Amino acid sequence: MFSFLSLSFFNYLLLLLLCFHLVNSSSTPTKIGNGYRLISLKETPDGGIGGLLQVKERNNIYGPDIPLLQLYVKHETQDRLRVRITDAEKQRWEVPYNLLPREQAPALKQTIGRSRKNLITTVQEYSGAELIFNYIADPFSFSVKRKSNGQTLFNSSSDGSSSFGVMVFKDQYLEISTQLPNDASLYGLGENTQPHGIKLFPGDPYTLYTTDISAINLNADLYGSHPVYMDLRNVKGQAYAHAVLLLNSNGMDVFYRGTSLTYKIIGGVFDFYFFSGPSPLAVVDQYTSLIGRPAAMPYWAFGFHQCRWGYHNLSVVEDVVENYKNAQIPLDVIWNDDDHMDGHKDFTLNPNNYPRPKLLAFLEKIHSIGMKYIVLIDPGIGVNSSYGVYQRGIANDVFIKYQGEPYLAQVWPGAVNFPDFLNPKTVEWWGDEIRRFHELVPVDGLWIDMNEASNFCSGLCKIPKDKQCPSGTGPGWDCCLDCKNITETRWDDPPYKINASGLQVPIGYKTIATSAVHYNGVLEYDAHSIYGFSQAIATHKALQGLEGKRPFILSRSTYVGSGKYAAHWTGDNKGTWEDLKYSISTMINFGIFGVPMVGSDICGFYPAPTEELCNRWIEVGAFYPFSRDHANYYSPRQELYQWESVAKSARNALGMRYKILPYLYTLNYEAHTTGAPIARPLFFSFPDYTECYGLSTQFLLGSSLMISPVLEQGKSQVKALFPPGSWYNMFDMTQSITSEGGQYVTLDAPLHVVNVHLYQNSILPMQQGGLISKEARMTPFTLLVSFPAGATDGKAAGKLFLDDDELQEMKLGSGSATYVDFYATVSEGTVKLWSEVQESKFALDKGWKIVKVTVLGLGGSGAPSSLEVDGKPVTGASNIELSSLEQKYITNLEVGDEKKKIMMVEVHGLEIPVGKNFAVSWKMGVSG
């Protein structure tokens, strides 16, 4: 929904703060601390090492130094190292272990108590299977190295020539840095809109603090906080990737200067996790094994979604569904923003515009054909004595407090209180409200918005006695409560000012006051950035308890681990060509963050896209993992059928999406079991190819399907990078591109064309598509096999996961899932294709059949022959046919001295059960 800060407001403040900000971010750093010395180091009972750090000399910039720190280091797995530093005498705020389960660090007395001997003089390093921890005792610093090649991955030592100082640890200011080689490519540190693309850019600000400002604001802290980065380095032609997570939920600035990276944090602890990789996929696997594997998504979630803030009544929604059907554009899910609510209040229905009997009849109609319905809920609960949700919330004491009373804020209903999802009673109450609402309206998922948390006011507020609030006129986001600033506490006005909202606004600005109190005395100051995360966990638990079905949740605010519970969209973007381009980088980042189900508002949220832009946006958005058109209340209608040209592009692009749904759903299973992103940067598949390290205008689905969209106005061609190997056009499989060392190729891309290419050595399971995923899912299968162009000796592989997507668990062993590995080879003129099925029953019961096989890139000429299926020759009496067609190169590139002739071979008329092992083979013709 619409953000509270406009771009013009930002520009105004930017003029006031620009000079100070530039000095603050780029000048020689002020000496804030004098460092620590390691005074003891001993083994811990759990196999780690622990010690004490003593401050060398105190100073009072940003407050006094904490005199004694506890160090704890452990190789938790063979590829994960933890380094934790905290106050040795007092417990400090950390991300709650019940929200993000992980190993508990040992208590202080276990770490430094009765251990046998001090290791400082005898041990300078602590080695694990893949990583080595080294330290310098005075002034204390540490480094992490890769065991295999000695490469330094992290080094906090300030050697005098560095652009940073020693480690600092104060109550409200923590600072630590690492040296970096200047050729390291860094990714992550979000959520923000990065104008320079997916690689972190030296000098750009990276502030992490969940904030409701529009995603059109560049280099600003947006809705999520993900203090993790991936570091990719190429050493003598070989790639090595690792990642660094600083598990801390407090506000922070991260300064990346190219050769160093500095964290400046306003609370919490240093709790570093290092992941050794060495491949990008291995890094994300290791990362999500700690923070939680991504949520299993239902099959229908990979269909197309339509939403708008401003569907004023049910008849409009009904018309939208009918118009999509009439335009023959696929649609799986229809959404309501807050239009269905009674006075913007959660868990209510407007009796006039969304009368329950008519809504239930509509839902019965769409549910009968497999369509779904999702609505929005905001965390703010309207303060209204006649509102049952509020009454029950007060009775159960579920709201965040300020000076003992529920903290008062303003969002769409007017005055609201915010549920405290750190309180177990709140989680129970929230679950009960969702259950009550589901009995009222059987929705298929929930959209949790405004959960940074967003507040239209700032400070300490009261409900005015002499005016209506809100007035019922105007945009609705103007603060109408009577408010005063809160500045008397060090929590509302901390000594170090992070670059909040990109402009160093107060950290309590337009959100919950940071001196407000959660359950057990936890300050909003500490817990702010996990608010949306805690709400997602509570919502997921509630939906799981409803009907035993797999939950679907879309959350705007996210934190480390949110992907285990929710999908994400990138918030309030703008209908501009720049925002279309930015959407790719943000989407790819969230795959690295462990939130693979992600997408941006197609055609832009506001103010209005051009017809040409909407054409191009659906050609990108059709391949977002989460694909949804969503528009603002004040924007013109932009459903895909509003322009015939856009409808044509949608039928084309979404038509392909619905054909590859089996592939997308299998990627969903991979994400759920290994963390692998669904949408990926090209370097995930080509880590040794440095040309793609900064590429932000193309992306991969899985390991082998490349999208190369038009992102500029007026263009009918696109210059696309093709990494080494052979690529095949998914819309015209006779077209191939082979690039020996990697090559930019200019592709034709008229208005209704998007370039999608399949990489060699792949087997892609496809179906015939349809207008609803339920219908598309029951159509026959085709297997698309790709070999290197002209292959006479090659291999290909693919996989397919099928299950009952209504079940909460997405796993084998339940009797409701089937997994198939596909393999193909070409050798000595013979092509073989076969499958290996695990747990065949589910697929066999569904009756799925493979009716066609298409093989691309085969060498040779003449007609293929000697077709066999399951070892039996196919005779003329069979309906099975074998055909071939010469493929063409669309570039002037040559393979060796001359172009090899390449063939596409198809086998039609098959009736192979997906759930049964099969083998198909034939011989390639030889030129006479």
The rounded distance, in Å, linking the Cα atoms of 74 and 111 is 11
Paired tokens of 146: 């890769």
Choose, from 253, 449, 639, 805, the residue flagged as catalytic.
449
Q: What angle do CA 630, 631, 632 make, to 5 degrees?
A: 140
The rounded distance, in Å, linking the Cα atoms of 902 and 887 is 6
Backbone angles phi, psi at 664, to 5 degrees: -60, -40
Paired tokens of 207: 């502030």
- Which of the 8 DSSP states describes residue 313? S
Q: How far is CA 100 from the centre of its chain?
A: 17
Identify which of 416, 380, 423, 418 has the alpha carbon closest to the alpha carbon of residue 521. Answer: 423
Beta strands, E only, 839-901: 849-859, 865-869, 872-873, 881-886, 888-889
The rounded distance, in Å, linking the Cα atoms of 13 and 899 is 60
Q: Could you give the dihedral angle defined by the CA atoms of residues 399, 402, 406 and 411, in that order, rounded to the nearest 10 degrees? A: -90
Beta strands, E only, 47-173: 49-55, 68-77, 80-87, 125-127, 131-136, 141-146, 152-155, 168-169
Choose, from 130, 271, 378, 572, the residue flagged as catalytic.
572
Q: How far is CA 135 from the centre of its chain?
A: 35
The rounded distance, in Å, linking the Cα atoms of 719 and 722 is 10
Q: Is there a catalytic annotation at residue 221?
A: no
Residues with Cβ within 8 Å of 321's Cβ and at least 6 positions away in sequence, in order, are 331, 334, 366, 371
The rounded distance, in Å, linking the Cα atoms of 802 and 348 is 37
The rounded distance, in Å, linking the Cα atoms of 195 and 462 is 40
Q: Is there a catalytic annotation at residue 449?
A: yes
The rounded distance, in Å, linking the Cα atoms of 447 and 340 is 13
The rounded distance, in Å, linking the Cα atoms of 469 and 343 is 12
* Longest Cα–Cα distance in the chain: 96
Q: Is there a catalytic annotation at residue 253?
A: no
Choose, from 452, 526, 579, 601, the residue flagged as catalytic.
452
Beta strands, E only, 498-639: 553-555, 567-569, 598-599, 601-602, 627-629
- Asked whether the beta carbons of 379 and 393 are under 8 A apart, the reply is no
- Asked whether the beta carbons of 229 and 200 are under 8 A apart, the reply is yes
Question: E strand or H helix at 699, and its extent?
Answer: strand 699-701
Helix (H, G, I), strand (E, B) or coil at 661: helix
Give the residue numbers marked as catalytic.
449, 452, 572
